[in-house]
């Protein structure tokens, strides 16, 4: 007998057809910061959702984090600055989802919010950017390197104690402009952000994780929704990338177990080698003195609990090595 398409017996593209022909369904509104990188990231998620038949619009917002470019992030209230205003838009229904660089998402979200999914990771490494010098090793004694990241400062000091490290804030274009104006001999930025904005040609070299361990979540995007928005959680499920999700869960578990503060240098990076998740972490004193404490571990991580347990084990090793818990 010929099987006719019906809700009980859908053709392969049934989902898509009904979605496209259902004008009653409102679009998914993405709350986003208005930096070029944030807009690229929101647009990327928009495209992925549109490819799956959803209608999507963007709601651009300026956050406190974007307005306070003159002071170091750790002094004005930390990473939460970039996400709070987007969460307010989700709370009052102006928007449905927020797209974040996972690196900027606090370890514990406020009550009522969840990460619906983590997308496949871009290059997690840090990039060396300079017009005059090809690599960190080529910088002359005492050269000036721009970065405000406590993690990058601590790791750079370990590699090249002679360098002068100066603060550098602002969005990617601002940071590159300050380099081009001659304020620095070189700067260090996440490779992922540069690549996303088509600025990969500015990368003179990438630091391998053994030399400069990335920050927890670096290079990955996460999508935040209000807890209970099961409709959105289901719509977003196809965008999730399991390996990235487990690796970044292990990394974030290290940060959480160390207190989640962004006023101490902390690096955590995990990747799968076969079925084993290999996790490395490094911790430095908040005042930037003293040697780095390093730890690593590996485990077969098939689920979230195992990945988080690995992160906690590695954090425990950091503490055994002298690292201190510092609440955010």
Ligand X SMILES: NCc1[nH]cc(CCC(=O)O)c1CC(=O)O
Binding of residue 262 to ligand X (CB under 6 A): no
Stretch that binds ligand X, among 176-184, 189-197, 282-290, 299-307 (CB under 6 A): 189-197
Binding of residue 285 to ligand X (CB under 6 A): no
**How would you class 322 by CB atoms within 10 Å of its CB: exposed for 0-12, middle for 13-18, buried for 19 or more?**
exposed
**How would you class 328 by CB atoms within 10 Å of its CB: exposed for 0-12, middle for 13-18, buried for 19 or more?**
middle
Binding of residue 81 to ligand X (CB under 6 A): no
What values do phi and psi take at 313, rounded to 5? -60, -45
Residue in the block written with tokens 């906690």:
312
Binding of residue 103 to ligand X (CB under 6 A): yes
Binding of residue 297 to ligand X (CB under 6 A): no
Stretch that binds ligand X, among 21-29, 61-69, 100-108, 241-249 (CB under 6 A): 100-108
Q: Least distance (Å) from ligand X to the CB of residue 133? A: 18
Binding of residue 101 to ligand X (CB under 6 A): yes
Q: How does DSSP classify residue 115?
A: E
Binding of residue 218 to ligand X (CB under 6 A): yes
Which tokens go with 90?
Answer: 């989700």
Binding of residue 212 to ligand X (CB under 6 A): no
Give CA 292 to chain center in angstroms: 23
Q: How far apart are CA 39 and CA 33, in angstroms?
A: 7
104 is catalytic: yes
Closer Cβ to ligand X, 218 or 255, answer by number: 218
Question: Which of 304, 317, 327 is closest to 248 using CA atoms?
Answer: 304
Q: Least distance (Å) from ligand X to the CB of residue 282? A: 16
Q: How far apart are CA 250 and CA 184, in angstroms?
A: 35
Closer Cβ to ligand X, 58 or 176, answer by number: 176
Stretch that binds ligand X, among 97-105, 230-238, 251-259, 311-319 (CB under 6 A): 97-105
Binding of residue 146 to ligand X (CB under 6 A): no
What values do phi and psi take at 300, rounded to 5? -75, 110
Binding of residue 189 to ligand X (CB under 6 A): yes
What values do phi and psi take at 276, rounded to 5? -90, 130
Q: Least distance (Å) from ligand X to the CB of residue 20? A: 32
CA count, 13 A, side-chain hemisphere, 111: 0
Which positions touch ligand X (CB under 6 A)? Answer: 101, 103-104, 189-190, 192-193, 218-219
Name the residues annotated as catalytic: 104
């Amino acid at each position: 007998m010929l099987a006719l398409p019906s809700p009980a017996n859908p053709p392969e593209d049934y989902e898509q057809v009904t979605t496209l022909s259902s004008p009653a369904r409102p679009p998914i509104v993405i709350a986003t910061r208005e930096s070029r990188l944030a807009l690229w990231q929101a647009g990327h998620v928009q495209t992925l959702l549109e490819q799956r038949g959803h209608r999507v619009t963007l709601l651009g917002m300026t956050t406190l984090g974007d307005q306070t470019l003159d002071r170091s992030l750790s002094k004005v209230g930390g990473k939460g600055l970039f996400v709070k205003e987007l969460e307010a838009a989700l709370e009052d229904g102006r928007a449905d989802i927020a797209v974040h660089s996972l690196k900027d998402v606090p370890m514990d979200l406020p009550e009522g919010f969840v990460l619906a999914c983590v997308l496949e990771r871009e290059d997690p490494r840090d990039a060396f950017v300079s017009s005059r010098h090809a690599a960190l090793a080529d910088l002359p004694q005492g050269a000036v390197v721009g970065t405000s990241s406590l993690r990058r400062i601590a790791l750079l000091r370990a590699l090249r104690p002679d360098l002068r490290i100066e603060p550098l804030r602002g969005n990617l274009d601002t940071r590159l402009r300050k380099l081009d104006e001659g304020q620095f001999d070189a700067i260090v930025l996440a490779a992922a952000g540069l690549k996303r904005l088509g600025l990969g040609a500015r990368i003179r070299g990438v630091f391998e994780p053994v030399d400069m361990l990335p920050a927890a979540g670096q290079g990955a995007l996460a999508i935040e929704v209000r807890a209970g928005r099961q409709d959105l959680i289901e719509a977003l499920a196809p965008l999730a990338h399991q390996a990235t999700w487990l690796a970044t869960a292990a990394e974030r578990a290290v940060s959480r177990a160390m207190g989640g503060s962004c006023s101490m240098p902390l690096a955590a990076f995990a990747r799968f080698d076969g079925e084993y998740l290999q996790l490395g972490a490094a911790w430095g004193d908040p005042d930037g003195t003293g040697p780095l404490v390093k730890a690593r571990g590996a485990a077969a991580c098939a689920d979230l609990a195992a990945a988080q347990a690995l992160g906690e084990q590695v954090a425990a090793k950091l503490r055994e090595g002298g690292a201190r818990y510092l609440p955010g």
